[in-house]
Amino acid sequence: MELYRLTAHQIHQLLTEKQVSSVEVTEAALNRIEQVEDRVQAFLTLTKEQALAQAKAVDEKIARGEQIAPLEGVPAAIKDNMCTKGVLTTCASKILPNFVPPYDATVVSKLNRQGVVMLGKLNMDEFAMGSSTENSSVQLTRNPWNLDTVPGGSSGGSVASVAADEAFFTLGSDTGGSIRQPAAFCGVVGLKPTYGLISRYGLIAYASSLDQIGPVTKDVADCALVLNAIAGHDPLDSTSANQGVPDYTSSLVNHVKGLKIGVPKEYFGEGLDSEVAEAMKAAIAKYEELGAIVEEISLPSTEYALPAYYIIAPAEASSNLARFDGVGYGYRNTEAEDIVSMYSKTRSEGFGPEVKRRIMLGTYALSSGYYDAYYLKALKVRTLIKQEIEQALATYDLLLTPTAPTPAFEIGAKTDDPLTMYLSDICTIPVNLAGLPAISIPCGFSKGLPVGLQLIGKAFGENTILRAAYTFEQNTDFHLQKAALTRG
C-alpha cells in the first residue's frame, strides 16, 4: 500500500485502527518528497527531524489508548508566508533570507494543537504576488501534471506538493485567487474561506483587506476536516469574525436536489478556453441531472473587477511592505553611506521585479492628486461588485463559474507580459473583492491538463459550498485521477 497516495481521512482511519503508525506515514511522505522533489521543487524548507518527533509523539498517544483528533499524526506543510516559530519564513524573497519568527501564526498554532505533523515550508510567488509561482526568488516550482507548465500561483508550492502526493494537505493564502487558481491548474481542491473566518495573525500581509488563508486538499472531505481545525475567532486578529463555527464535515452529504445555482454569463465570454467551456457545460449538466436548478444570470460589473483589484491590492501592498527597510530584520545593504540610500538600496536589491511593480503602482494610486481618481473610485467599484454578487446570492444558493479561463500554461509563456498574466485571475478576483467564500474542484481536462470548477457562496456559507462540491465529487471521478509527474 502506497501510503502517500491516501487522503488525510483515510490515514486517520488507519491510525485509529492501528494498521499503520504516524512515523510510518511520515516516513512515506518524506520518502515521496525525496523521490520527486528534484522535479517538482515545492519545498523551500524541510523540517524532517521535527516531523518525525511529532509523529513519534502521536504514536505514543495512540499506544496509551488515547483518542486522536481527525488530523492528528497526518503530515502537512505550510506556505512560506505564515510565521512558524523557529523555522525559516522567507516569503520566497531575497529581502527575508534569514527570518526565523519568534512565534507561530494562529493557523499554525491550531494545527500544532491538533497534532498535525509539519513537513516544512512551501514555495510561492514572492510576497504572494503572482499567478504562476515564477516570481519566487528561490526556485521554480513545476506542475506535477506536466513539468513544462506552471503550477499556478501564488500558492504554487502548496498546491503542487498536494498534487504530487508530497503532503496530505497544505495551507495556502488567497488574495485574488492564489489558492483556487493553482488548485484548478493542478487538479486538487482549494478553498478560499469567507474573509474573517480564519485568523490572519502571523500571515505576512500582501493586501490586508483581501488576504485569506485556506486549505489545499486531495478531496472535499479533507477540506472540511482542515477547515474545522483552523476556522474560528481570534482576538489577535481585529478582522477575525466573532461568531460560532459549525462542524463542516456535517455538510459532506451527497444531495443537491432543489439547490439553486446561478451561472454568470460574464464568466463565459472571450478568452475562455473551448475545452474549459465544455467542462463547465458538462458540470452544469451533472448538477441538473442530480436535481439542482441551474439558471443563467448576469453580473455586469464583473468586467471592472480586475482593474479595481490592481489598484486596491497594490495600494495596500505599498503600505504593508514599507516595513521591509533593512532596519529591524531581513536583508540590509551594508555599503550605503546614509540611511536614505540604505533604504533605497536595500529595497532595490531585496525586492523582485513584480513586487517592485506593485509597490510603485500602489504608491502612485495613493499619492496626492491621484487618490480620488484611482483608489477611491476602485473602492466604490468594489462595493458595487460586492452588492451585485450578494444580490444574486439572495436568489441563488451558489454561483458556478470556471476557476480559470485556461488550463496551466507553459513556464515562461507570460513572464514578459504582466497584463496577460493578471488575466489568469479574472474568474477568482471578484470573490476576494466581495469577501465571500469559494472553492475550486477538479471537473475535467483541457489539453491533458486539469480544469477547475469554482463554486461561490454566501458569506459564512462554506457548508453549502462543501455540500455541492462533495456531491459533484461523489458523482464523478476527476479527483481520483493523478498527475503523471512526467515531462510533457
Q: Which of 132, 136, 155, 178 is catalytic?
A: 178
Q: Which of 21, 22, 79, 161 is catalytic?
A: 79
Residue 79 among the catalytic residues: yes
Residue 154 among the catalytic residues: yes
Q: Which of 109, 131, 137, 154 is catalytic?
A: 154
Residue 424 among the catalytic residues: no
| 426/404 Cα distance (integer angstroms) | 7
| 472/255 Cα distance (integer angstroms) | 9
Cell triple for 347: 529595497
Q: What is the 3-state secondary structure (H, E, C) of the chain?
A: CCHHHCCHHHHHHHHHCCCCCHHHHHHHHHHHHHHHHHHHCCEEEECHHHHHHHHHHHHHHHHCCCCCCCCCCCEEEEECCECECCECCCCCCCCCCCCCCCCCCHHHHHHHHCCCEEEEEECCCHHHCCCCCCCCCCCCCCECCECCECCCCCCHHHHHHHHCCCCCEEEEECCCCCCHHHHHHHCCEEEECCCCCECCCCECCCCCCCCCEEEEECCHHHHHHHHHHHECCCCCCCCCCCCCCCCHHHHCCCCCCCCEEEEEHHHHCCCCCHHHHHHHHHHHHHHHHCCCEEEEECCHHHHHHHHHHHHHHHHHHHHHHHHCCCCCCCCCCCCCCCHHHHHHHHHHHHCCHHHHHHHHHHHHHHCCCCHHHHHHHHHHHHHHHHHHHHHHHHHCCEEEEECCCCCCCECCCCCCCHHHHHHHHCCCHHHHHHCCCEEEEEEEEECCEEEEEEEECCCCCHHHHHHHHHHHHHCCCHHHCCCCCCCC
Residues acting as catalytic residues: 79, 154, 178
